[in-house]
Chains A and B, each alone.
Chain A
């Protein structure tokens, strides 16, 4: 072919420029990195700070806990002033984890979908740079794969780091801490621990990209993808109790706690009373039949014990990763098919 014979001499006499390029990624990966480096840095800084904070928090809590044992406050029945001060300090440290870090980590997927996923392709369509890129020699599939893989890998890496450290701190310092109350299924605790954080981060990114590709307008994509991730979160919260079979139990009506007493740390999904004839009444039913319920001898409850935490997380993550794969496949198909 004529091009190859024509270009060979010029390729040999290329100036020193390419020598500078030999380090780092090449081809579409170079472009994807050049385009993503600002957002990757913007993500990495808070993620690394969070990681640092978690590590510092771990050692501070460990330190307090040792002091706690050494001064005998651990077993004291009536606390001295010194024990109360210690308790207050310990509580403050655990609150940094439960009331600041956990909500922040929970919010991360929404932010990723909004500010990373949404504009990613919307901007390429809006500015017409998609046409610029596809007028080069690379195929659309290869370009898109690199364009998604670079920020995707950064999200995977950083979310794994944060989720790993936050699970570690929770497991070793918070779970059995006397100054903290943080059952694993609680609102901000569950999404900040374990694999779901990683799955949610990747899913939010993919959903944002898809929304951005559908809308092709940056501002609209930013708003809509944030809303889409939040909506997906709401749907999953409603579905979550059904991701794993609940434990169903009946027990004598607990007059002290007023009904069903669930095991420590478990997640009570539904509860009510059992009448003498064996029929079950939910808490809602009892609003209209207080007399009947008050006379009930037993109570029932459906709950997820702490041991269901990991299975539920795995099912939820599997579901989200399948949806992520679906969204990415759709983005690829739309790029190949629709006019640009």
Chain B
């Protein structure tokens, strides 16, 4: 096995899209569109944060990629395949938000399930994740805490040795220490084997410094998609006094007034003229600005204009 320092050239598929959405839409019963008209590409080897408010469609997107549901329109290609094949099943691992496991199984049983059901099973990788939590192999899943169960679920996903790892709120019930530790293991794995990861989270600091690609999902649409550095470079966070100059028109994502001070996030790569202090936003500043500003849908647009 390659050592951890010889990074992604292990994957000949680097640069090829791992996940690609073309006009993707998913409607649930009762005419509710969870996702609509989504277009994006996540290149192989990326660690892609899937960010959005609750109910924005993050889980639907990951469930579609895991092939547990079918799109209503368009397609979601995973390594070029538009639907599930026996081969694609071995290439994708998925940890759902609820992290379901069989409560009557022991930790050892659960790992054995991974071994029995996955041809490329890596016992060591799975044991490493479980072992860090000092879990007893004969402990019943039903007797574990939420965080310990998350750990077993992650071990199962990592042991599968998938090329695409779909993680839906993976760290939600872990304490900060375990979160940090597990994130480290995930990233090391990803770096070592060139695994593509799609990780959804609403704990924004959890993603900072980890992801290198971003998918911002808002009300079932893709608001932002692309390389994280390019996205951050394409935005400016401005600070100035309220009665100062007008903001450059048409590009403001969000504008907030606090006392006499104005903060605004601009979607522009160009330097901004005027009495503004202009900096490149951090990931958290960028995401918060977008999350606070709903996507103007045709129905909601008049209201927003009236408020402005």
Contact = CB atoms under 8 A, between A and B. Distances in A.
Interface residues of A, number: 36
A135 B109 CA distance: 17
A31 B123 contact: no
Contacts of B1: 6, 9-10
A60 B139 CA distance: 49
A9 B2 CA distance: 10
Interface string B95-107: 1101011111100
A135 B66 contact: yes
**For the side of the interface on B, what is the size category?**
35 or more
Contacts of B121: 11
A135 B68 contact: yes
Interface string A124-144: 000111011111111100000
A13 to B, nearest CB: 8
B259 interface: no
B115 A2 contact: no
Most chain B C-beta atoms within 10 Å of own C-beta, residue among A6, A132, A137? A137
A17 B123 contact: yes
A213 to B, nearest CB: 16
A21 B68 contact: no
A77 interface: no
Interface stretch (A22-30, A172-180, A302-310, A326-334): A22-30
Nearest to A18: B115
Contacts, number: 110
A139 B119 CA distance: 13
A6 B193 contact: yes
Given A2-B163, A3-B90, A340-B69, A28 B117 contact: yes
Nearest to A20: B112
Given A21-B112, A131-B100, A132-B101, A137 B90 contact: yes
Contacts of B100: 127-129, 131-132
Nearest to B112: A21
Interface in A1-16: 2-4, 6-7, 9-11, 13-15
B96 A128 contact: yes
Given A129-B100, A135-B94, A30 B68 contact: no
A340 B12 CA distance: 33
Contact of B13 (A2, A4, A28): A2
A145 B89 CA distance: 18
Contacts of A135: 66, 68, 92-96, 157
A278 interface: no
Interface string A98-132: 00000000000000000000000000000111011
B114 interface: yes
A138 B109 contact: no
Nearest to B89: A137
B225 to A, nearest CB: 24
A129 B96 CA distance: 10
A34 B105 contact: yes
A339 B68 contact: yes
A35 interface: yes
Contacts of B116: 21, 26-28, 30-31
Contacts of B92: 135
A339 B70 contact: yes
Contacts of A7: 120, 122, 161
User: Which label, helix, strand, loop or mixed, suits the secondary structure of the A interface?
Assistant: helix
B115 A21 contact: yes
A137 B98 contact: no
A7 B160 CA distance: 10
B11 interface: yes
Nearest to A139: B86
B284 interface: no
A268 B125 CA distance: 71
B109 A34 contact: yes
A135 B114 CA distance: 10
B124 interface: yes
B69 A17 contact: no
Contacts of A27: 116-117
Contacts of A6: 1, 10, 161, 193
B68 A340 contact: yes
Contact of B12 (A2, A31, A38, A128): A2
Contacts of B41: none
B10 A2 contact: yes
B53 interface: no
A3 B163 contact: yes
A17 B126 CA distance: 13
Interface in A296-340: 339-340
Given A2-B11, A15-B123, A132-B100, A137 B118 contact: yes
A30 B101 contact: no
Contacts of B69: 339-340
Contacts of A128: 96, 98, 100
Contacts of A127: 100, 102-103
Contacts of A129: 100-102
29 contacts: A2-B194, A3-B91, A3-B120, A4-B120, A7-B120, A14-B123, A17-B112, A31-B116, A31-B117, A34-B105, A34-B109, A34-B113, A127-B102, A131-B66, A131-B68, A131-B94, A132-B96, A133-B117, A135-B66, A135-B68, A135-B92, A135-B93, A135-B96, A135-B157, A136-B89, A136-B113, A136-B117, A339-B70, A340-B69
